[in-house]
């Protein structure tokens, strides 16, 4: 039975979940189209739910996996993640990571993190990755990769083929997982007693603070705070030993934890309903702030552009920015000439900012990439154009 049928919270098991925000029928955000006509495209009614017991924010009625992950081949390459080197340093410090350790990475993608580990002297590594195209890239880099989803059924085969690992790394994966308890049991099953687990997830506290609705993406079915992630770990017998945060992709939260015994009675769930429920109000406020800013400056939509055709930009355009923005630009060649789902806007190269007489360009790229975009568009700035950001966190954010 699915979470939706039982209305059961994935974290605490409470059955009193309610709708926090209703997004209506939404297309698959990352599926850019060859024509502006989106009729006949798949849509799914997206509702953001909240647990009245612990306050965990989640999407219970999830988009079928075959719709979400069948076209991963169209995705561009994995983003650079310089903060992983700091995570390795933290693993050496808090998890006694040593060169002889056997490390498993769930969701290894194209093997970038495994490569960093190898460069740091950790050579006994194994990746698990469900998407065959990126798994093939990891394999071509000389890594042993199991091309499959990870669950308790799979864990048994992994252990019989490779043995138990000393460290399990799982980065930017848990937020996609609808079967959280089974996933955590599978992690326990492949990890030695006393071994360590490092989880990295998007930090919901960042969009919560800014009311940034671009974080609500149909691929992310779980919205973790430090409290809810710690609770999940404790519930499954992991003791958190270190927590850190990074300015990566809208804010990342990392916890390193040690495997111990599973408690017979679960720990007390977080009490985040009051704080997390604020998200809906803040999202409405931040949308109103952007609209008011553009109106006060006297910009008409044909003078306003958005830079970025990634999932966060598409979500904002479909939620409230569509009528305020006349031009969409992005410098990834594979996106140019294609049309954004629902808004039907065509993606242009960024030299269109100058050609089209744009006065203000709204940045919809992660903070770590903003300066590079601004540098590349110096001509636009020289001719009087200006940049502001619509994604949190950012020093250029319209507030
Ligand atoms: Zn709950």
Query: Cα(268) to centroid of ligand 1, in Å?
Result: 11
126 and 256 inside one domain: yes
Residue 45 CA to residue 36 CA, distance in Å, equals 21
Sign of the torsion formed by the C-alpha atoms of 103, 109, 113 and 116: positive
What's the 271 CA to ligand 1 centre distance in angstroms?
A: 9
Residues 6+ apart with CB under 8 A from 333: none
9 belongs to a structural domain: no
Compute the distance from residue 232 Cα to the ligand 1 centre, in Å. 10
Rounded distance from Cα 228 to ligand 1 centre (Å):
9
9 CA distance to ligand 1 middle (Å):
5
- What is the pLDDT, as a whole number, of residue 39? 84
Query: How many independent structural domains does the chain possess?
Result: 2
- Residue 262 sits in the same domain as residue 366: no
Q: Is there a single domain that holds both residue 128 and residue 217?
A: yes
Question: What pLDDT, on a 0 to 100 scale, did the predictor assign at position 121?
Answer: 95
Contacts of 349 (CB under 8 A, 6+ apart): 329, 330, 331, 336
**Rounded distance from Cα 59 to ligand 1 centre (Å):** 12
Ligand 1 centroid–CA 270 distance in Å is 8
Q: What is the pLDDT of residue 109?
A: 92
CATH value at residue 309: 3.40.50.720
- Ligand 1 centroid–CA 71 distance in Å is 32
User: Ligand 1 centre and the CA of 225: distance in Å?
Assistant: 13
What is the predicted pLDDT for the residue at 78?
52
* Order of strands across the sheet that contains 17-27: 17-27, 43-51, 57-58, 222-223
Instruction: Give me the chain's average pLDDT, please.
Output: 93
- DSSP state letter for 292: H
d(CA 305, CA 357): 10
Range list of β-strands (E), 290-393: 304-307, 327-329, 347-348, 360-363, 386-389
In terms of domains, do 95 and 213 share one? yes
Measured in whole angstroms, how far is the alpha carbon of residue 175 from the centre of its chain?
7
**The CATH number of the domain where 204 resides is what?**
3.40.50.150
Antiparallel, parallel or unpaired: β 125-128 and 103-106 = parallel
Which of 34, 137, 28 lies closest to 346 in space, CA to CA? 34
Other Cβ atoms within 10 Å of 292 Cβ, number: 11
Residue 216 CA to ligand 1 center (angstroms) comes to 18
CA of 252 to the centre of ligand 1 (A): 22
Instruction: Give the whole-angstrom CA distance, residue 370 versus residue 373.
Output: 5
Map tokens 């993190």 to a residue.
Answer: 113
The crossing angle, in degrees rounded to 10, of helices 112-119 and 83-94 is 60
Would 260 be classed as within a structural domain?
Answer: yes
Domain match, 157 and 235 both: yes
Q: Helices marked H in 15-130 — which ranges? A: 65-69, 83-94, 112-119
Between CA 159 and CA 180 the distance in angstroms is 20
Residue 323 lies in a domain: yes
Q: Which of 235, 252, 231, 255 is nearest to 243 (CA)?
A: 255
**Rounded to the nearest whole angstrom, what is the distance from the C-alpha of residue 275 to the centroid of ligand 1?**
14
- H/E segment holding residue 207: helix 205-210
Cα Rg of the chain, angstroms: 22
- Going from the Cα of 159 to the center of ligand 1, the distance in angstroms, rounded, reads 31
Choose one of 246, 276, 306: the last residue of a domain: 276
Q: 272 CA to middle of ligand 1, Å? A: 9
CA 231–ligand 1 middle distance (angstroms) = 10
Please state, in angstroms and rounded to a whole number, the distance separating the CA atoms of residues 175 and 185.
16
> Which pLDDT belongs to residue 4?
55
The two tokens of residue 214 are: 């671009």
What pTM does this model have? 0.94
Domain endpoint, select from 242, 276, 310: 276
Same domain, yes or no, for 229 and 308? no
Q: Tell me how far the alpha carbon of residue 156 lies from the centroid of ligand 1, in angstroms.
A: 29
CA of 60 to the centre of ligand 1 (A): 12
Residue 215 is predicted with a pLDDT of: 97
How far, in Å, is the centroid of ligand 1 from the Cα of 235? 13
Residues 323, 251 within the same domain: no
For residue 279, the CA-to-ligand 1 centroid distance in Å is: 16
Q: What angle do CA 225, 200, 235 make, to 5 degrees?
A: 60
Q: How far apart, in whole angstroms, are the C-alpha atoms of residue 378 and residue 385?
A: 9
Structure-token match 């950012």, residue found: 394
Distance from Cα 25 to the centre of ligand 1, integer Å: 25
- Cα–ligand 1 centroid distance for 117 (angstroms): 36
Residue 73: the pLDDT is: 45
Q: What is the mean pLDDT of each run of 10 residues along the chain (399 residues)?
A: 71 96 94 89 95 97 83 51 93 96 96 95 95 93 95 94 97 95 97 98 97 96 98 98 94 97 92 97 96 95 97 95 96 95 95 96 94 96 96 93
Counting Cα atoms < 13 Å in the Cβ hemisphere of 197 gives 30
Q: Element (H or E) spanning 180, and its range?
A: helix 180-190
pLDDT tens-digit map of 200-216: 999 999 999 999 999 99
- Measured CA to CA, the distance from residue 143 to residue 84 in angstroms comes to 18
Q: What is the pLDDT of residue 1?
A: 46
CA 48–ligand 1 middle distance (angstroms): 14
Q: How far is the CA of 94 from the centre of ligand 1 (A)?
A: 29
Between CA 73 and CA 110 the distance in angstroms is: 12
Query: pLDDT above 70 covers what percent of the chain?
Result: 96
Q: Clarify whether residues 264 and 312 are in a common domain.
A: no
Please, is 372 exposed, middle or buried when counting C-beta atoms within 10 Å of its C-beta (0-12, 13-18, 19+)?
Answer: exposed
Residue 74 pLDDT: 40
Q: Are 319 and 263 in the same domain?
A: no
Surface-to-core class of residue 282, CB atoms within 10 Å of its CB (0-12 exposed, 13-18 middle, 19+ buried)? middle
Domain that holds residue 232: 74-276
CA of 357 to the centre of ligand 1 (A): 50
- Asked, for residue 36, whether it belongs to a domain, the answer is no
Beta bridge partners of 365: none
Q: Which pLDDT value is given to residue 80?
A: 66
Cα(245) to ligand 1 centroid in Å equals 23
């Amino acid at each position: 039975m699915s979470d939706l049928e039982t209305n059961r919270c994935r974290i605490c098991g409470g059955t009193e979940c309610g709708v926090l925000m209703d997004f209506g029928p939404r297309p698959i955000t990352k599926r850019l189209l060859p024509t502006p006509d989106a009729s006949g495209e798949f849509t799914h009614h997206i509702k953001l739910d909240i647990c009245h017991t612990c306050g965990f924010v989640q999407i219970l009625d999830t988009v079928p996996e075959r719709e979400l992950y069948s076209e991963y081949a169209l995705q561009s390459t994995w983003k650079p993640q310089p903060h992983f080197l700091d995570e390795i340093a933290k693993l050496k410090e808090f998890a006694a990571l040593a060169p002889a350790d056997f490390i498993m990475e769930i969701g290894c993608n194209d093997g970038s993190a495994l490569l960093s580990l190898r460069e740091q002297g950790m050579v006994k590594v194994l990746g698990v990755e469900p998407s065959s195209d990126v798994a093939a890239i990891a394999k071509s880099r000389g890594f042993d990769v199991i091309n499959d989803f990870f669950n308790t059924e799979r864990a048994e085969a992994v252990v019989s083929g490779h043995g138990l690992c000393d460290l399990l790394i799982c980065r930017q994966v848990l937020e996609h997982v609808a079967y959280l308890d089974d996933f955590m049991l599978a992690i326990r099953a492949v990890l030695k007693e006393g071994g360590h687990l490092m989880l990295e997830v998007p930090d919901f506290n960042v969009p919560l603070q800014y009311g940034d609705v671009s974080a609500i993406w149909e691929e992310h079915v779980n919205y973790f705070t430090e409290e809810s992630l710690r609770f999940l770990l404790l519930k499954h017998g992991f003791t958190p030993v270190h927590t850190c945060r990074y300015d990566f992709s809208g804010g990342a939260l990392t916890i390193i934890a040690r495997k111990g015994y599973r408690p017979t009675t679960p720990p007390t769930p977080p009490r985040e309903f009051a704080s997390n429920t604020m998200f809906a109000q803040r999202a409405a406020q931040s949308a109103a702030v952007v609209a008011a800013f553009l109106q006060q400056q006297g910009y008409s939509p044909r003078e306003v552009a958005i830079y970025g055709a990634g999932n966060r930009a598409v979500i904002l355009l479909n939620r409230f920015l569509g009528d305020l923005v006349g031009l969409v630009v992005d410098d990834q060649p594979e996106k140019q000439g294609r049309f954004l789902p629902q808004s039907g806007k065509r993606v242009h190269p960024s030299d269109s900012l100058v050609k089209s007489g744009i006065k203000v360009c709204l940045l919809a790229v992660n903070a770590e990439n903003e300066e590079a975009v601004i540098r590349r568009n110096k001509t636009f700035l020289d001719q009087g154009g200006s940049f502001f950001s619509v994604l949190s966190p950012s020093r250029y954010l319209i507030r």
